[in-house]
Structure 1
Amino acid sequence: MEIIETKEDYNKSSLGLIPNDWKQVHLNEVAKVIDGDRSSNYPSGNDIVDEGILFLSTKNIVNSFFDYHDTRFISKEKFDSIKKGKLKKDDLVITMRGSIGNVARFTGVPFQTALINAQMSIIRPTGINSEYLWSSLNSFIMPRYLQKITSGSAQPQLTKKDVEKIPIPLPPIGEQQKIALILSTWDKAIELKEKLIEQKKQQKKGLMQKLLTGEVRLPGFEGEWKKVRLGKIGKTYNGLSGKKAEDFGEGKPYIPYKAIFDNSKIYINKFEYVRIEENEKQNIVKYGDIFFTTSSETPDEVGMSSVLLEDVNEVYLNSFCFGYRLNNFDTLIPEFAQFLFRSDSFRRSTFKLAQGSTRFNISKNEMMKITVLLPSIEEQKAIAEVLSNADREIKLLKKQVNFLKEQKKGLMQLLLTGKVRVKV
């Protein structure tokens, strides 16, 4: 796996300079592009079964890999009746609509075959190493090409001809295999780290379930927990009111909906801006405030919470959330609230309050009727510290994954242009 600095002569190509013993080809010169089935025989909701042949959609491609957590199946009989879109080992799959240009490689494990939906196409290598082609399509080449062909498009989508014309740098086959092997080393390291992150998230979830219900007590703590109604220990307030679209983009910082939905604590680098007139009456947030989302497309996503754990000056709250301010920190501390209001037991309570059909809403008055079990302040601090340590560990692992991805990105730039050659 030795990498050597190159002193080769180069030729010009649309990808830049490449070694003179490489070629630049179009994708259709080294692979066959096969559309997904778009006939009347295409599987519908009625064809979905509990077990059978894997039926893939664009959501199953995540970060250039297949994600099988949320999968659908069709019967063997239905699969056999369809002519197009069937996967073989070492096929690549590219998304053609929605989030376009995402490419994953089908390894044949754990599923030996699968059917793609109509929003994807198969790239079947015929004169190129499958792993090398997959790496090429997940490099700088793809975003550069997509920008060129979709510039100005309101709803970008790819055609078969678009995919066939993707430019590919083509080194000799031995070098392709070696480049693929080197890059796969980084892929495996990234995959292992991401699996570890998932394990740590599950461990934290288990800890929250046990520690936030009192099922397991930390050493040195005993005694009964107190049942408390939220309306008794704090008050609610509204977010921004009376604002128009032109008021946003500059002015004073405010906490957007996504910053609350995405994380259990507020990150101040996620603030956006809104124009606030002098003497305008709007509620200002402060340290320890807890924010809840009031609306979502699904009932299990309303009432998501986030806690402000930093001192800030003149920051406002978006219109689609409400604030909850504790009367004091003698009964509940913000650091504990960060985890309490994201726990499964509390989320079940908010889920029951969601009302609507196409969009679901939650009443802050009803939220204030929810009761929670609270340990002593000292036990709250201890539990919060254990869970915060788990968060810090996950955050560190995510940084390591990002570092590995940046390393791989830099290496791809060198190897896939021949600026650095591999010794075969």
Structure 2
Amino acid sequence: MSDLIPEGWKLLKFGDIANIHKGLTYATSNYSTREYGYPFITLKCIKKNGGFSKVGLKYYDGQYKSQHIVIEGDVVFANTDLTRDGDVVGSPILVPEIKNEKPSLISMDLSKVLPKEGMDKGFIYYWLNSSLVKRYMINFSAGSTVLHLNTDSVPSIPALVPPISEQQKIAAILTSVDEVVEKTQAQIDKLKDLKSGMMQELLTKGVGIKQGDKYEPHTEFKDSPVGRIPKSWEVRKLADLIGSLQGGVSVNGENHLKKHSEIGVLKVSAVFKGRFIPSEYKTITKEDEPRARVNPIKGTILFSRANTPELVGESGYIEESVSDLFLPDKLWMLTANVVVK
């Protein structure tokens, strides 16, 4: 962190600007229904790299303390990460409006942030979203299969703090940007729905038979194991189309940018919606570098064999080979035994 800071700003620690309270310990037997339970925000409510998801909202029927209660606009962050890649741990959310007569609660996998005097909630939320704080959160986490944040270390994270008026202005600017992003994302989601419908149509009925410069729709269809398809089409097994299948190995990696002499291992998040994202990697530890063996190769397809239920099976096409990145054990690389024109 630079020694030069704007006039009026202070270099403090997280513990100086807010109090942190962990959520309540519970058992699944405490789960209830919307009618009888309290709205219960769990780890699955936090998306990768932050943001609220309704998927993880449960209902709880049991004892709790006032420190476990959250209201709209409260800042909450994750203490745990099931992804093992560090995409969730430390990631914050702003608690949304949850319509219910009963108070909302947070689980033990989350912590609530209570700003101290002179601190703005919105500013703290965006500060928690910064890459610097994210690195601290990951470095303070450990676990062989699930990452657990050492919450006792979190208050020591350094924080550059401007005066309250400037905090509020910064938060307002970033909020306005988020609103634009949200509107843009809504448009993207609509286009994705349109694309899904088009794919279903094109992959089952095709574009038709070429007649000169135009395509005339197929008029003859037949029944098949996958439904009705054009008469001229055939059904083949995926195994008939795959030329080769290679998998990587599990290696230890660290969440920081690799240096020129270092190599990286891809995360499962390196494949998403048909795209290959080479920036999604971890730097392989020196002792594990000799074990890395499979590079992403141009013209092949990466396929995720393990991920969360909604993301398992994601794939991405590799447009350029990458010599300093390697496949993990959870990604497979496929080549086709047919020429795609």
| Shorter-normalised TM range | 0.5 to 0.7
1:111-150 aligned at under 5 Å gives the runs 113-127=103-117, 128-143=119-134, 145-146=136-137, 150=140
1:250-329 aligned at under 5 Å gives the runs 262=272, 264=274, 274=293, 324-326=336-338
Cα displacement string for residues 208-231 of structure 1 (whole angstroms, at most 9, x for unaligned residues): 223333399897424221251315
1:96: which partner in 2? Answer: 79
1:157-236 aligned at under 5 Å gives the runs 157-214=148-205, 220-224=216-220, 225-226=230-231, 227-230=233-236, 234=240, 236=242
Q: How many residues align?
A: 280
Alpha-carbon distance change, 222 to 309 in structure 1, aligned in 2, over 3 angstroms:
farther
| Structure 2: gaps spanning 5 or more residues | 209-213, 221-229, 252-265, 281-291, 322-326
Taking the aligned partners of 2:183 and 2:130, their CA distance within structure 1 comes to: 21
Taking the aligned partners of 1:207 and 1:93, their CA distance within structure 2 comes to: 39
Is residue 71 from structure 1 mapped to residue 62 from structure 2 by the alignment?
Answer: no
Whichever residue aligns with residue 14 of structure 2, its letter is: L
Taking the aligned partners of 1:138 and 1:132, their CA distance within structure 2 comes to: 10
Taking the aligned partners of 1:173 and 1:268, their CA distance within structure 2 comes to: 39
- Which structure is richer in relative contact order (CA contacts within 8 A, separation 6 or more)? 1
Whichever residue aligns with residue 203 of structure 1, its letter is: L
Is residue 19 from structure 1 mapped to residue 9 from structure 2 by the alignment?
Answer: no
Taking the aligned partners of 1:32 and 1:232, their CA distance within structure 2 comes to: 55
Q: CA RMSD in A?
A: 4.7
**Of 25, 34, 38, which aligns to 2:21?**
34
Q: Higher Cα Rg: structure 1 or 2?
A: 1
**Of 82, 87, 98, which aligns to 2:64?**
82
Displacement of 1:18 in angstroms is 2.6
Displacement of 1:90 in angstroms is 2.5
More helix by share: 1
Alpha-carbon distance change, 303 to 54 in structure 1, aligned in 2, over 3 angstroms:
same
Whichever residue aligns with residue 18 of structure 2, its letter is: A
Runs of 4+ in 1 over 6 A off after TM superposition: 215-219, 243-246, 265-270, 289-293, 297-311
Whichever residue aligns with residue 138 of structure 1, its letter is: N
Aligned 8 A contact 1:291 1:324 in 2: no
Displacement of 1:92 in angstroms is 0.9
SS class of match (1:18): coil
Alpha-carbon distance change, 60 to 21 in structure 1, aligned in 2, over 3 angstroms:
same
Aligned 8 A contact 1:15 1:141 in 2: no
Displacement of 1:94 in angstroms is 1.5
Cα displacement string for residues 239-290 of structure 1 (whole angstroms, at most 9, x for unaligned residues): 359x9989xxxxxxxxx996996454778999xx8489xxxxxxxx997x88
Whichever residue aligns with residue 116 of structure 1, its letter is: I
Aligned 8 A contact 1:35 1:122 in 2: yes
2:287: which partner in 1? Answer: none
Whichever residue aligns with residue 325 of structure 1, its letter is: N
Alpha-carbon distance change, 157 to 306 in structure 1, aligned in 2, over 3 angstroms:
closer
Whichever residue aligns with residue 69 of structure 2, its letter is: K
Displacement of 1:307 in angstroms is 6.7
Taking the aligned partners of 2:176 and 2:206, their CA distance within structure 1 comes to: 42
SS class of match (2:337): strand
Cα displacement string for residues 283-307 of structure 1 (whole angstroms, at most 9, x for unaligned residues): xx997x88877x6589998877777
Aligned 8 A contact 2:140 2:153 in 1: no
Alpha-carbon distance change, 162 to 111 in structure 1, aligned in 2, over 3 angstroms:
farther
SS class of match (1:65): coil
Displacement of 1:163 in angstroms is 2.8
Aligned 8 A contact 2:69 2:105 in 1: yes
SS class of match (2:181): helix
SS class of match (1:178): helix
Whichever residue aligns with residue 239 of structure 1, its letter is: L
Taking the aligned partners of 1:186 and 1:214, their CA distance within structure 2 comes to: 42
Alpha-carbon distance change, 196 to 111 in structure 1, aligned in 2, over 3 angstroms:
farther
| Structure 1: gaps spanning 5 or more residues | 1-13, 247-255, 277-284, 312-316, 336-424
1:58: which partner in 2? Answer: 43
Displacement of 1:169 in angstroms is 2.9
SS class of match (1:90): coil
Task: Report the identity percentage.
Answer: 25
Aligned 8 A contact 2:23 2:112 in 1: yes
Taking the aligned partners of 1:257 and 1:92, their CA distance within structure 2 comes to: 28
Displacement of 1:205 in angstroms is 1.0
